[in-house]
Chain A
Amino acid sequence: MNVLWLQSAGCGGCTMSLLCAEDPNVLEALDAYGLDLLWHPSLSLETGAEVRRLLDRCLSGEVALDILCVEGAIARGPRGTGRYQMLAGTGRAMLDWVRDLADVARHVVAVGSCAAFGGVTSAGENPSDAVGLQFEGSHPGGALPQGFRAGGGLPVINVAGCPTHPGWVVEALLMLADGSLASRDLDSFARPRFYADTLVHHGCSRNEYYEYKASAERLSDLGCMMENLGCVGTQAVGDCNIRPWNGGGSCTRGGYPCINCTAPDFEEPNHAFTETPKFAGIPVGLPSDMPKAWFMALASLSKAATPVRISTNATADRIKIPPRSRKPRS
């Protein structure tokens, strides 16, 4: 299968992350499944006129475009022209290239939250009028219409994340290659369910602190970051704490909050990223599928029951009180 990769209005970080795939690396993984990268901006030899001819052959159908991967948001500005990003050497806006190429592709994959929803490129006043391929934030319809379906019948597959975990991208592509990714495998934002059916909270190494609502007060504290430091891992989809990043990390393991980077509109949380907004001293945005009263009741109970070990360690940058070893019965 042929894969064409374009980088639109983004940072290129999803490719940089993809190159961190291990055992095997991304080049070997794609090769093993017969995925042939027609062109990738960071990896391919071809440049300039060679690329322009390839794009034309894809449009004419001379070269089958099995999978179109787009990394980065689509800039529509200024004034709907798309001229904030012209594909170099072509005199055409990336907006127009993506629409035309999506029309001839069997599958379209949005790599990263920018391509999926607009992402960070659409933050603030959204200077470039950026959107995702098939969503504008959480609203259906982006550079491509809400009803768009690629030749293979699927909507744009949103491998969202900022950046994407290399495994998410590799596995989505391999599943397309062997025909095992169907519409039932995508969630309501067209994210692959193999990582979107889990929460960042699952496997979080701070779970014991969460159980007792033993909260970190400042970045570098070991406690749960939900109450004070803006962590939304209990609501954010992703398997970040189940499979490691870069050999063993995750945001929460690195000491900073989950900012829900797999979700539409994550770039505009309406509060500082590392501060939890509160109403009357109570954090807003508690776990979404739990009655608030129950949450508060359980939280106050567990807070009252917190062992000294946990409350002490929660506000320290290293373990101050280790778990006590039980003496063996004599």
Chain B
Amino acid sequence: MTDETLLVGPFNRVEGDLEIRLTVSGGQVQTAQVNSPLFRGFERMLLGKSPTDALTLTPRICGICSISQSAAAARALCAAASGQPAPQGALVTQLLHAVENVADHLTHFNLFFMPDFTRPIYAGQPWHDEAVARFTAMKGSAIHAAVDARSKLLHITGLLAGKWPHTLAIQPGGVTRAPSPRDRVRIDLTLREFRRYLEQTLFGAPLEAFADLSTPDRLMAWETGDAGLFLRIAAVTGLADLGAGCGRFLSFGAYPGPEGCGFARGLWTADGLQGLDTDTIVEDLSHAWMLGDAVHPNRGDTIPDEDMQAPAYSWCKAPRLGGQIVETGALARQVVDGHPLARALAAGKAGVLARVAGRLLEIARTQILMERWVAAIDPAQPFMAPVTLPRSGAGEGLVEAARGALGHWLSIRDGRIDRYQIIAPTTWNFSPRDSAGTPGPVEAALEGAPVLPGEETPIAVQHIVRSFDPCMVCTVH
């Protein structure tokens, strides 16, 4: 049997562009190589600039995870200054960041992931007509409802952060706008409206009922809302067994605030919950069009190989934790946080179904967190604390973007940025091979995916890739 090679791209309904090279034989993907085809070089742009310029420039790495980049830059600067944000400023940052992450999850489910089930390949399935009505690209009723609910939810960013994306409101010492009592009730009202959308449309039931699901069996028995439609489709299309992950889940801890993280920090493996030692992170460059050695990001450089020499095949570096690949994202966060449903899904194959269900679970749980945080806003308190940046110093800023663990590592010398390195969630998930030849998480998850006769862009490959919700503009940055 001869191997066939498929080159898949432009790969859309991911953020940014993506190219995947597949070798196929026996109706299955044998190997996959993931290429992040865009290099912009933010880590180089920042060199020599005022440290605070990172707050303007790094959000513009990404139009979909802009606040995540803001929050990571602010934390890195705050760490370099050995400062502390005002507790209420940290609370508003938590809320703003959660709003962006939930909006991203909603965009992913409705606009990026579900439209694939409207494809003619599924015509004749008992659920296909409903999928077409709800999720036809640009026209489906669920897509319109999600776009409208999302823009209303983002009113919270308009009010507290001026605009979205690309706000400068999040600073090392807190936030630039102190919300008034009137702002607080207005935000609360927006969240109530968003809850109504979630309960009427996405879940079709009280969202606590979805957040309380504890076993995969109960999950699969969920019938209402668009979540129910997805689960019915997932059950008959075998999404549970498709695209199994590596089983090592990373979370830097989401929404750090005055009372700890909203979702816990850690590493989950087959041996259970592990402590997370970020000192063991190394970016391997063996298969990236980058020059230099494999080092920790606080010593890393970004030197593109203009000759794009083999065996490299991507602009993406290959981060490894303790020498191993890890998966990051909503599912990882919920597994690390100890949610029983997520833990049970992680004990299985943890493929396409688990990733999408993890995101739905997180939408429900994050709405509850956001409601709690709004209630805790105290307009009488300060929202910005003074933080004085040092002439020289270094800092690490770790946050959880919608797509997973995001880190900024910065050093300052003589009042200027001396080094700035970023590892985005999709850098982890969509990394190329390392010097040991170990494929990145998505590359590994694609091995064994079914390819039907005549398929140019295999539908199974599309489901698997999109289940990771890649953000390609962040990946290389």
Residues of A within 8 A of B (CB): 7, 9-17, 19-22, 25-28, 37, 39-52, 75, 77-79, 83-90, 120-121, 123-128, 130, 162-163, 218-220, 244-257, 259, 261, 267, 271-275, 317-318
**Chain A residues, Cβ within 8 Å of B383:** 220, 317
In the bound complex, what is the Cα–Cα distance between A90 and B39 (angstroms)? 17
B64 touches A16 (CB 8 A): yes
A256 touches B176 (CB 8 A): yes
Q: Can you list 6 contacts pairing A with B, beta carbon distance less than 8 Å? A: A12-B64, A219-B384, A246-B163, A249-B163, A273-B52, A318-B178
B17 touches A88 (CB 8 A): yes
**Chain B residues, Cβ within 8 Å of A121:** 40
Interface hits, B56-109 → A, CB 8 Å: 56-57, 60-64, 66, 107
A48 touches B158 (CB 8 A): no
Among A7, A28, A252, A254, which residue has the most Cβ atoms of chain B within 10 A?
A254
A247 touches B159 (CB 8 A): yes
The 5 closest A-B pairs by CB, nearest first: A254-B162, A13-B63, A88-B9, A127-B41, A89-B9
Partner of B115, one of A10, A45, A162: A45
Is B150 close to A, CB under 8 A?
A: yes
B144 touches A28 (CB 8 A): yes
Among B42-50, B218-226, B241-249, B365-373, which stretch is in contact with chain A? B42-50
Is B433 close to A, CB under 8 A?
A: no
CB distance from A266 to the nearest CB of B (A): 10
B12 touches A125 (CB 8 A): no
Partner of B119, one of A45, A75, A128, A259: A45
**Chain A residues, Cβ within 8 Å of B174:** 220
B166 touches A88 (CB 8 A): no
Q: A27-B138, A41-B17, A250-B162 are in contact. Are A219 and B473 (CB under 8 A)?
A: no
B158 touches A246 (CB 8 A): yes
Residue of B nearest to A255 (CB): B176
Partner of A89, one of B10, B64, B148, B157: B10
- Residue-wise, chain B 262-274 has the 8 Å CB interface mask toward A (1 for contact) of 0000000000000
In the bound complex, what is the Cα–Cα distance between A75 and B315 (angstroms)? 14
Partner of A273, one of B12, B56, B66, B306: B56
Q: A78-B304, A163-B63, A163-B165 are in contact. Are A42 and B159 (CB under 8 A)?
A: no
**Chain B residues, Cβ within 8 Å of A90:** 9-10
**Chain A residues, Cβ within 8 Å of B48:** 124
Is B151 close to A, CB under 8 A?
A: yes
A249 touches B457 (CB 8 A): no
Is B338 close to A, CB under 8 A?
A: no
**Chain B residues, Cβ within 8 Å of A162:** 60, 166
A20 touches B15 (CB 8 A): no
Partner of A9, one of B13, B40, B155, B162: B40
B40 touches A254 (CB 8 A): no
- Residue-wise, chain B 145-168 has the 8 Å CB interface mask toward A (1 for contact) of 001101110110111111111111
A44 touches B56 (CB 8 A): no
Is B228 close to A, CB under 8 A?
A: no
B155 touches A84 (CB 8 A): no
**Chain B residues, Cβ within 8 Å of A318:** 178, 180, 379
B9 touches A43 (CB 8 A): no
In the bound complex, what is the Cα–Cα distance between A267 and B159 (angstroms)? 25
Partner of B39, one of A20, A40, A128: A128
**Chain A residues, Cβ within 8 Å of B62:** 11-13
**Chain B residues, Cβ within 8 Å of A45:** 115-116, 118-119, 136-137
Residue of A nearest to B168 (CB): A256
**Chain A residues, Cβ within 8 Å of B17:** 7, 41, 85, 87-88
A274 touches B52 (CB 8 A): yes
Among B13, B37, B41, B111, which residue has the most Cβ atoms of chain A within 10 A?
B41
**Chain A residues, Cβ within 8 Å of B158:** 244-249
**Chain A residues, Cβ within 8 Å of B38:** 9, 75, 84-85
CB distance from A327 to the nearest CB of B (A): 26
Residue of B nearest to A86 (CB): B37
Is B112 close to A, CB under 8 A?
A: yes
Is B462 close to A, CB under 8 A?
A: yes
**Chain A residues, Cβ within 8 Å of B164:** 16-17, 20, 245-246
Partner of B147, one of A19, A89, A124, A247: A19
Q: A13-B165, A246-B155, A317-B383 are in contact. Are A85 and B37 (CB under 8 A)?
A: yes
Is B18 close to A, CB under 8 A?
A: yes
A252 touches B162 (CB 8 A): yes
Interface hits, B266-321 → A, CB 8 Å: 304, 306, 308, 315
In the bound complex, what is the Cα–Cα distance between A79 and B11 (angstroms)? 26
B12 touches A44 (CB 8 A): yes
CB distance from A121 to the nearest CB of B (A): 5
In the bound complex, what is the Cα–Cα distance between A128 and B394 (angstroms)? 27
CB distance from B97 to the nearest CB of A (A): 15
**Chain A residues, Cβ within 8 Å of B414:** none
Q: A48-B10, A219-B176, A256-B169 are in contact. Are A10 and B473 (CB under 8 A)?
A: yes
**Chain B residues, Cβ within 8 Å of A218:** 384, 386
B162 touches A256 (CB 8 A): yes
B41 touches A220 (CB 8 A): no
**Chain B residues, Cβ within 8 Å of A251:** 162-163, 167-168
Is B35 close to A, CB under 8 A?
A: yes
CB distance from A39 to the nearest CB of B (A): 8
A124 touches B47 (CB 8 A): yes
- Residue-wise, chain B 390-410 has the 8 Å CB interface mask toward A (1 for contact) of 000000000000000000000
Among A16, A28, A39, A162, which residue has the most Cβ atoms of chain B within 10 A?
A16
Q: A12-B16, A44-B137, A246-B154 are in contact. Are A255 and B56 (CB under 8 A)?
A: no
A43 touches B138 (CB 8 A): yes
